[in-house]
Amino acid sequence: MSETASPDPELFDKIVNLSKRRGFVFQSAEIYGGFRSTYDYGPLGVLLLRNVKDAWWRSMVQERHDVVGLDASILSPPQVWQASGHLANFSDPLVDCTNCNARHRLDKLDDPNVCPTCGSEGTFTEAREFNLMFKTHAGPVTETAAEVYLRPETAQGMFINFANVLNTSRKRPPFGIAQIGKSFRNEITPGNFVFRTREFEQMEMEFFVPPAESQEWYEYWCQTRMDWYLDLGMDPAKIKLRAHDDDELSHYSSGTSDVEYLFPWGWDELEGIANRGDFDLTQHATHSGEKLDFFDQANNERYVPHVIEPAAGATRTAMAFLMDAYDEEVVNDDTRTVLRLDHRLAPYKIAVLPLSKKDTLTPTAMEVFDSLKRRWMVDYDETQSIGKRYARQDEVGTPYCVTVDFDTLDDRAVTVRERDTREQDRVSLDQLEGYLAERLS
């Protein structure tokens, strides 16, 4: 790992601009002035986000014999959040400035006595705990009995389904339950684009292990999760694992580490990996009255499994990959922007570009598009000069451009241009799929 990596503050605006200009991420409800801290994923963003989630699912579920998937409900009754501790503890301390009425999170202030908005000293009210969960009502009555919550994390869905999964999947510890889905937190200080929002997506896995094996599995998951980011091309100089200090640990956790990325504003969290002990299953067993344990027939012992939890943010991670891939290089006195995304994450894998819009080329270009679209996400673009179209594809990270030109009509071959090197190969149409498959595998 390089010791010299430092944050690049200018990258932030470049990514926000690129996201909007090229259709990765839009401000939500923009035509109504924008809805603060919520974002919509555009045609390219939805593909990038989906590819990040697919890569996670592939490595955490598909390629493992010991992890199964789940898709639990977003709405849940208060009992779940009573047991998990979220109703009592999932809150931030808020202070109001009596001089300028600004509201701040006490734990995020540089000086707890000075208001950063107006600079006045000693003007804060007493801190009040503000619960971050969104509450709503199920059905037409708005009485307390009908209160439900939008989940602030996907994790509890895995804990409350522990027995269901154990009994139906024939898994036994060590085994995991994985889930990708939306979570909601009424964040007091959302910000940094899609880094901290009130509605976001998580990719979480609860790995249930015999208590004696928990430390070993914790270390295993810390390493495995770091390897996932590196395997997908993240710059090793910009990613690190940071173990929590004792005073940062939850009372039930015997170890937690964060995967941190060097964002334009400095190091910040992408994922937390926690050794949660038997806290969650014990809490839900106590509150529900159901047994949430495992009988190990081989050793004739019953135990409550301990849990190792790798908890990542999908939306946050997609943005980190976008930032990590962003590059500018000078080519023939022009600056070319190129997203050097791993092939697996690139929104489009291939762009089919007829050299001219003339009708003579369209049928062959469409034939090429049709031959590739079943296997890959392929863009088709026939507007502007070929140079401009290459630049557009570089800017959104498309690994291969396939150009259909007038010679194609005679030699049944196309020009394939690679994004990073800009090298070009002439490839015959009957070899094209194999050529691309070899390189995109």
Selection from 67, 22, 7 nearest residue 310 by Cα: 67
The residue with tokens 């690129």 is 18
Residues binding ligand GAP: number (CB under 6 A): 19
Instruction: Please calculate the CA angle 162-164-169 and round it to the nearest 5 degrees.
Output: 95
In a 10 Å sphere around its CB, with 0-12 CB exposed, 13-18 middle and 19+ buried, how is residue 388 labelled? Answer: exposed
**Minimum gap (Å) between residue 431 Cβ and ligand GAP:** 43
Measured CA to CA, the distance from residue 128 to residue 427 in angstroms comes to 67
User: What H or E segment, with its residue span, contains residue 209?
Assistant: strand 199-209
Cβ atoms within 10 Å of 213's Cβ, excluding its own: 15
**Minimum gap (Å) between residue 148 Cβ and ligand GAP:** 19
**Minimum gap (Å) between residue 95 Cβ and ligand GAP:** 20
Pick out residues in 127-166 that bind ligand GAP (CB under 6 A): 153, 155
> Is 181 a residue that touches ligand GAP (CB under 6 A)?
no
Site string for ligand GAP, 251-280 (x = CB under 6 A): ------------------xxxx--------
**Minimum gap (Å) between residue 398 Cβ and ligand GAP:** 27
**From 185, 238, 389, 419, residue interacting with ligand GAP (rule: CB under 6 A):** 185
- Hey, what's the torsion of the CAs at 65, 71, 72, 74, to 10 degrees? 140
**From 27, 95, 149, 204, residue interacting with ligand GAP (rule: CB under 6 A):** 204
**Minimum gap (Å) between residue 286 Cβ and ligand GAP:** 19
Pick out residues in 308-327 that bind ligand GAP (CB under 6 A): 309, 311-313, 315-316
SS3 168: helix
The pair of three-digit structure tokens given for residue 304, joined into one six-digit string: 């409550």
> Under a CB-based contact definition with an 8 Å cutoff, are residues 251 and 224 in contact?
no
Measured CA to CA, the distance from residue 357 to residue 364 in angstroms comes to 12
**Minimum gap (Å) between residue 62 Cβ and ligand GAP:** 22
Question: What does DSSP say about strands 400-404 and 147-150: parallel, antiparallel, or unpaired?
Answer: unpaired
**From 27, 197, 253, 256, residue interacting with ligand GAP (rule: CB under 6 A):** 197
**From 19, 131, 202, 415, residue interacting with ligand GAP (rule: CB under 6 A):** 202
> Is 368 a residue that touches ligand GAP (CB under 6 A)?
no
Interaction site with ligand GAP (CB under 6 A): 153, 155, 185, 187, 196-197, 200, 202, 204, 269-272, 309, 311-313, 315-316
